[in-house]
């Protein structure tokens, strides 16, 4: 049965700003400005206005699914730099959505900023909880970081790549394509994360549905090893229990490389990524602070902090080998609107019709 969390009536809408905002300071000079006026202002004094307003507001409420060992150092750096307190609430992406929707339907608007997985950010967009915004950091972001409606933007990526154990896979044996995974030598030896349905659907569509499904039927016949959890899959690679895996996150492998583990990663085309996005709340109690924090997360300084946590930054201003290859983003619609189709096919191919167990965040 389809997850009710992903059922949404109502189509997409686009917020069109009035011509007033074309004039410097318009909408900001008289009375209390609307959040939209603050978010889209591009005047020469924009950064000064945002900072002064944020310091007057004094705090910013952040709802995120980024784990505490990574999110706390980032919020502490923000507080130290700007003197604005961060009220941090961290939970799984599904629980972030549930809490925000429950509060909004009760007329309570607590969060100023949302930061979580792309599909969940699109739920906020569909539920009209986000507002379009502008940041000077946009100039450093790739086109793939922006959804068409531009009500949130990717601040980090999770890329699905091939991972392999260098003690078990010789350099000349490393697969160069998805087709190479079908070679007889890899029968029963390829690892897959058991809940990567969005990757599966995206690769099938990328190959062309007929050809893609034919490919995955052959892969299923080769008896791949399925495990739940991307961190676990990477650890099994390092221990040698699995010689190679088709759906590891490259940042997880890179963490193990730094610890001296005999593992490496390689992108296979088409390479897909899960965007993790950030956006400002339409009804933010602290709109200046919301924008200041979002600017910080997307700035070079914030993106360097994301990189330092062994995450994949979205900004081109930050040098990282983890995003220097050709890639595409998984469309939120693959998760929100087509989940029943892809979950059914995945389960039939790889799980013998069993229910998919989601990875814990």
Query: Given pLDDT bands bounded at 50, 70 and 90, which one contains residue 356?
Result: confident
pLDDT of residue 31: 60
- Chain segment 38-57, per-residue pLDDT in tens: 999 999 999 999 999 999 99
Among 9-23, 86-100, 147-161, whose mean pLDDT is lowest? 9-23
This prediction has a pTM of: 0.86
If one compares 156 and 10, the residue with the highest pLDDT of the two is 156
Is a pLDDT exceeding 70 seen at residue 277?
yes
Which pLDDT score is estimated for 109? 96
What's residue 246's pLDDT?
A: 97
25: pLDDT strictly greater than 60: no
| pLDDT beyond 80 at 29 | no
Is the pLDDT reported for residue 288 higher than 60? Answer: yes
- Give tens-digit pLDDT for 114-169: 999 999 999 999 999 999 999 999 999 999 999 999 999 999 999 999 999 999 99
Least confident of 20-34, 100-114, 151-165, 249-263: 20-34
Q: Give residue 361's pLDDT.
A: 62
Mean pLDDT of 164-193: 97
pLDDT tens-digit profile of 198-227?
999 999 999 999 999 999 999 999 999 999
Over 70: is that where the pLDDT of 17 sits? Answer: no
pLDDT-above-90 percentage for the chain? 85
Residue that is written with structure tokens 């900072």 in the block = 51
For the cut 50, the answer to whether the pLDDT of residue 313 exceeds it is yes
Mean pLDDT of 258-277: 96
CA angle 84, 92, 94 (to 5 degrees): 115
- Nearest to residue 273, comparing CAs of 315, 323, 227? 323
Per-residue pLDDT band for 357 (boundaries 50, 70, 90) equals confident
Decide if pLDDT at 14 tops 60.
no
C-alpha to C-alpha distance for 63 and 78, rounded to whole angstroms: 15
| Average pLDDT for 242-251 | 97
CB atoms within 10 A of CB 332: 22
Mean pLDDT of 241-254: 96
Average pLDDT, the chain: 91
Between 90-94, 187-191, 332-336, 339-343, the lowest mean confidence (pLDDT) is in 332-336
């Amino acid at each position: 049965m389809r997850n009710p969390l992903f059922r949404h009536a109502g189509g997409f809408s686009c917020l069109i700003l009035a011509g007033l905002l074309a004039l410097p300071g318009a909408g900001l000079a008289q009375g209390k400005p609307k959040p939209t006026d603050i978010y889209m202002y591009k005047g020469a004094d924009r950064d000064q206005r945002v900072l002064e307003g944020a310091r007057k507001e004094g705090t910013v409420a952040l709802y995120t699914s980024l784990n505490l060992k990574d999110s706390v150092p980032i919020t502490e750096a923000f507080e130290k730099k700007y003197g604005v307190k961060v009220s941090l609430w961290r939970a799984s992406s599904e629980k972030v959505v549930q809490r925000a929707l429950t509060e909004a339907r009760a007329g309570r608007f607590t969060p100023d900023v949302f930061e979580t997985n792309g599909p969940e950010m699109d739920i906020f967009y569909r539920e009209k909880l986000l507002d379009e915004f502008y940041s000077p950091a946009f100039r450093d972001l790739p086109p793939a970081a922006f959804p068409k409606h531009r009500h949130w933007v990717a601040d980090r990526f999770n890329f699905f790549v091939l991972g392999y154990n260098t003690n078990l896979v010789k350099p000349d044996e490393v697969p160069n394509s998805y087709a190479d995974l079908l070679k007889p030598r890899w029968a029963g030896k390829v690892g897959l994360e058991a809940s990567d349905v969005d990757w599966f659907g995206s690769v099938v569509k990328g190959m062309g549905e007929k050809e893609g499904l034919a490919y995955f039927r052959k892969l299923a016949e080769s008896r791949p090893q399925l495990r739940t959890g991307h961190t676990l899959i990477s650890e099994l690679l390092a221990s040698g229990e699995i010689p190679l895996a088709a759906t590891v996150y490259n940042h997880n492998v890179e963490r193990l490389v730094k610890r001296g583990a005999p593992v490496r990663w390689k992108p296979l085309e088409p390479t897909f990524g899960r965007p993790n996005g950030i956006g400002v709340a339409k009804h933010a109690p602290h709109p200046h602070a919301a924008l200041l924090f979002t600017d910080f997360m997307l700035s070079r300084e914030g993106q360097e902090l994301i990189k330092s946590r062994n995450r994949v930054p979205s900004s081109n201003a930050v040098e990282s080998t983890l995003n220097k290859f050709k890639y595409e983003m998984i469309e939120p619609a693959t998760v929100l609107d087509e989940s029943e189709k892809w979950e059914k096919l995945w389960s039939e191919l790889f799980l013998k019709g069993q229910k998919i167990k989601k990875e814990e965040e």
